Amino acid sequence: QVRLVESGGGSVQAGGSLRLSCAASGDTGTSYCMGWFRQAPGKEREAVAAAHIWTGGGYTYYGDSVKGRFTVSHDNAKNVVSLRMNSLKPEDTAMYYCAADTRGCSTAWYRERGYRFWGQGTQVTVSS
């Protein structure tokens, strides 16, 4: 089992920044994929970014809508994956979720069904 606890959501004006964190505990194994998803009211859940986490480093993926603005990073010591969000726009407003796939990331990192474990979600609101 893997437990994911998110933190860091909040309200910010357009152009501002926020950092979300997802603390992973339990049996993540030596490598896993941490994905970030978001869901706005009335819309389908959207893949935002993902990071393949392993002891030798990692690599990241980004959705087109956030590329160049969002950055995923990993604190190995704490096993915390962060999503740094810069240049936020009102359309970034959503509930954000982290999710873990203990098999690691694949080219299909954006598909929800690959992620077995999910965080509770944290709200991000961007005002214009």
Q: Helix or strand or coil: residue 77? A: coil
- Compute the distance between CA of residue 111 and CA of residue 72 in angstroms, rounded to an integer: 18
Q: What's the pLDDT score for residue 106?
A: 87
Are the C-beta atoms of 37 and 118 separated by less than 8 Å?
no
Q: What is the C-alpha to C-alpha distance for residues 115 and 99, in angstroms, rounded to an integer? A: 6
| pLDDT at site 59 | 87
H helices within 2-125, ranges in order? none
> Parallel, antiparallel, or unpaired for β 122-127 and 10-13?
parallel
Give me the pLDDT at residue 43, please: 95
Cα(126)–Cα(94) distance, integer angstroms: 9
Q: pLDDT under 50 in the chain at which residues?
A: none
Each residue's pLDDT tens digit, 76-104: 888 899 999 999 999 999 999 999 999 88
